[in-house]
Amino acid sequence: IGQQNSVMAGLAGLTTGGSNKNLKTEIEILKSPSLLLPIFNWLKTEKRKLGNNVDDWKYKDWLNNELSITRSKGTSIVNISYKDTDKDLIIPLLAKITKSYQLYSHRDKSNAIDDGLKYLNDQIKIYKKQSRISSTSAQEFALKHSLILGGENSKESILTEKERLKQ
Protein backbone atom coordinates (compact mmCIF):
# COMPACT_ATOMS: atom_id res chain seq x y z
CA ILE A 1 0.00 0.00 0.00
CA GLY A 2 1.35 3.35 -1.07
CA GLN A 3 1.85 6.41 1.04
CA GLN A 4 -0.49 9.34 0.34
CA ASN A 5 -0.16 13.02 1.10
CA SER A 6 -2.39 16.02 0.33
CA VAL A 7 -1.70 19.68 -0.18
CA MET A 8 -4.73 21.85 0.46
CA ALA A 9 -5.19 25.41 -0.77
CA GLY A 10 -2.56 28.10 -0.91
CA LEU A 11 -1.79 27.64 -4.59
CA ALA A 12 -1.27 31.20 -5.84
CA GLY A 13 -4.79 32.53 -5.69
CA LEU A 14 -6.82 29.34 -5.92
CA THR A 15 -8.54 30.18 -2.66
CA THR A 16 -9.47 33.74 -3.51
CA GLY A 17 -13.18 32.99 -3.48
CA GLY A 18 -13.38 33.49 -7.23
CA SER A 19 -16.19 32.17 -9.36
CA ASN A 20 -16.84 28.46 -9.76
CA LYS A 21 -15.99 28.71 -13.45
CA ASN A 22 -12.61 30.31 -12.75
CA LEU A 23 -11.77 27.68 -10.16
CA LYS A 24 -12.66 24.88 -12.58
CA THR A 25 -10.38 26.51 -15.14
CA GLU A 26 -7.57 26.76 -12.59
CA ILE A 27 -7.96 23.07 -11.73
CA GLU A 28 -7.78 22.12 -15.41
CA ILE A 29 -4.64 24.25 -15.76
CA LEU A 30 -3.14 22.41 -12.80
CA LYS A 31 -3.86 19.11 -14.57
CA SER A 32 -2.37 20.25 -17.87
CA PRO A 33 0.70 18.59 -19.40
CA SER A 34 2.38 21.98 -19.73
CA LEU A 35 2.59 22.11 -15.93
CA LEU A 36 2.75 18.43 -15.02
CA LEU A 37 4.76 16.74 -17.77
CA PRO A 38 8.09 18.17 -16.53
CA ILE A 39 7.20 16.94 -13.04
CA PHE A 40 6.26 13.51 -14.40
CA ASN A 41 9.62 13.35 -16.20
CA TRP A 42 11.41 14.39 -13.00
CA LEU A 43 9.60 11.61 -11.13
CA LYS A 44 10.62 9.04 -13.75
CA THR A 45 14.24 10.17 -13.42
CA GLU A 46 14.08 9.86 -9.63
CA LYS A 47 12.48 6.41 -9.86
CA ARG A 48 15.20 5.27 -12.29
CA LYS A 49 17.85 6.42 -9.79
CA LEU A 50 16.17 4.17 -7.24
CA GLY A 51 16.41 1.23 -9.63
CA ASN A 52 12.79 1.18 -10.83
CA ASN A 53 11.92 0.36 -14.43
CA VAL A 54 9.78 3.26 -15.66
CA ASP A 55 10.11 2.67 -19.41
CA ASP A 56 6.43 1.72 -19.74
CA TRP A 57 5.09 4.61 -17.65
CA LYS A 58 2.55 6.77 -19.45
CA TYR A 59 1.74 10.34 -18.44
CA LYS A 60 -2.05 9.84 -18.72
CA ASP A 61 -1.95 6.72 -16.53
CA TRP A 62 0.10 8.54 -13.89
CA LEU A 63 -2.25 11.53 -13.94
CA ASN A 64 -5.39 9.39 -13.70
CA ASN A 65 -4.17 6.79 -11.21
CA GLU A 66 -1.56 8.37 -8.94
CA LEU A 67 -2.37 12.06 -8.88
CA SER A 68 -5.63 13.68 -7.87
CA ILE A 69 -6.48 17.37 -8.19
CA THR A 70 -9.96 18.20 -6.96
CA ARG A 71 -11.96 20.93 -5.28
CA SER A 72 -13.53 20.44 -1.87
CA LYS A 73 -17.29 20.62 -2.37
CA GLY A 74 -18.80 24.00 -1.59
CA THR A 75 -15.42 25.68 -1.15
CA SER A 76 -12.66 27.21 -3.20
CA ILE A 77 -10.08 24.87 -1.65
CA VAL A 78 -8.10 22.72 -4.04
CA ASN A 79 -6.85 19.33 -2.89
CA ILE A 80 -3.83 17.77 -4.51
CA SER A 81 -3.09 14.18 -3.60
CA TYR A 82 -0.31 11.94 -4.83
CA LYS A 83 0.08 8.23 -4.09
CA ASP A 84 3.49 6.60 -4.14
CA THR A 85 5.22 3.68 -2.41
CA ASP A 86 8.29 5.90 -1.90
CA LYS A 87 7.22 8.42 0.72
CA ASP A 88 10.42 10.45 0.22
CA LEU A 89 9.19 11.52 -3.24
CA ILE A 90 5.69 12.65 -2.22
CA ILE A 91 6.47 16.02 -0.61
CA PRO A 92 9.07 17.06 -3.23
CA LEU A 93 6.64 16.16 -6.03
CA LEU A 94 3.81 18.16 -4.45
CA ALA A 95 6.18 21.07 -3.88
CA LYS A 96 7.16 20.96 -7.57
CA ILE A 97 3.49 21.07 -8.60
CA THR A 98 2.92 24.07 -6.34
CA LYS A 99 6.00 25.88 -7.66
CA SER A 100 5.09 25.10 -11.27
CA TYR A 101 1.59 26.50 -10.82
CA GLN A 102 2.87 29.60 -9.04
CA LEU A 103 5.30 30.29 -11.91
CA TYR A 104 2.47 29.82 -14.41
CA SER A 105 0.17 32.07 -12.40
CA HIS A 106 2.82 34.78 -12.12
CA ARG A 107 3.55 34.59 -15.86
CA ASP A 108 -0.18 34.74 -16.65
CA LYS A 109 -0.72 37.77 -14.40
CA SER A 110 2.37 39.43 -15.83
CA ASN A 111 1.07 38.92 -19.37
CA ALA A 112 -2.29 40.39 -18.39
CA ILE A 113 -0.58 43.44 -16.91
CA ASP A 114 1.58 43.85 -20.04
CA ASP A 115 -1.54 43.63 -22.22
CA GLY A 116 -3.26 46.25 -20.08
CA LEU A 117 -0.28 48.60 -20.29
CA LYS A 118 -0.09 48.20 -24.07
CA TYR A 119 -3.80 49.00 -24.37
CA LEU A 120 -3.46 52.10 -22.17
CA ASN A 121 -0.41 53.35 -24.09
CA ASP A 122 -2.29 52.88 -27.37
CA GLN A 123 -5.22 54.84 -25.94
CA ILE A 124 -2.89 57.64 -24.83
CA LYS A 125 -1.53 57.92 -28.39
CA ILE A 126 -5.06 58.03 -29.84
CA TYR A 127 -6.27 60.71 -27.43
CA LYS A 128 -3.12 62.81 -27.77
CA LYS A 129 -3.67 62.90 -31.53
CA GLN A 130 -7.37 63.74 -31.06
CA SER A 131 -6.41 66.47 -28.62
CA ARG A 132 -3.94 67.98 -31.10
CA ILE A 133 -6.56 67.89 -33.87
CA SER A 134 -9.15 69.55 -31.63
CA SER A 135 -6.68 72.19 -30.52
CA THR A 136 -5.74 72.96 -34.12
CA SER A 137 -9.40 73.19 -35.11
CA ALA A 138 -10.08 75.55 -32.23
CA GLN A 139 -7.12 77.73 -33.19
CA GLU A 140 -8.22 77.86 -36.84
CA PHE A 141 -11.74 78.79 -35.77
CA ALA A 142 -10.37 81.51 -33.49
CA LEU A 143 -8.24 82.98 -36.29
CA LYS A 144 -11.10 82.85 -38.78
CA HIS A 145 -13.43 84.67 -36.40
CA SER A 146 -10.86 87.01 -34.84
CA LEU A 147 -11.09 85.35 -31.42
CA ILE A 148 -8.25 85.10 -28.92
CA LEU A 149 -7.27 81.70 -27.52
CA GLY A 150 -4.83 81.15 -24.70
CA GLY A 151 -1.45 79.66 -25.52
CA GLU A 152 0.10 79.49 -28.95
CA ASN A 153 -2.48 80.90 -31.36
CA SER A 154 -0.40 82.30 -34.15
CA LYS A 155 -1.05 81.33 -37.74
CA GLU A 156 2.41 79.73 -37.93
CA SER A 157 1.74 77.35 -35.03
CA ILE A 158 -1.53 76.21 -36.63
CA LEU A 159 0.16 75.51 -39.94
CA THR A 160 3.04 73.72 -38.22
CA GLU A 161 0.59 71.58 -36.22
CA LYS A 162 -1.37 70.72 -39.38
CA GLU A 163 1.83 69.56 -41.09
CA ARG A 164 2.79 67.46 -38.04
CA LEU A 165 -0.64 65.78 -37.96
CA LYS A 166 -0.34 64.76 -41.63
CA GLN A 167 2.75 62.66 -40.78
What secondary structure does DSSP assign to the chain, as a single string? --EEEEEES-STTTTS---HHHHHHHHHHHTSHHHHHHHHHHHHHHHHHTT---TT--HHHHHHHTEEEEE-TTSS-EEEEEEES-HHHHHHHHHHHHHHHHHHHHHHHHHHHHHHHHHHHHHHHHHHHHHHHHHHHHHHHHHHTT---SS---HHHHHHHHHHHH-
Using alpha carbons, select from 87, 94, 97, 166 the residue that is nearest to residue 133.
Answer: 166
pLDDT at 114: 76
Q: Which of 101-115, 117-131, 132-146 has the lowest mean pLDDT?
A: 101-115
Global pTM value: 0.53
Question: Could you report the per-residue pLDDT of 48-75, keeping only the tens digit for each?
Answer: 999 999 999 999 999 999 998 888 888 8
108 vs 63, higher pLDDT: 63
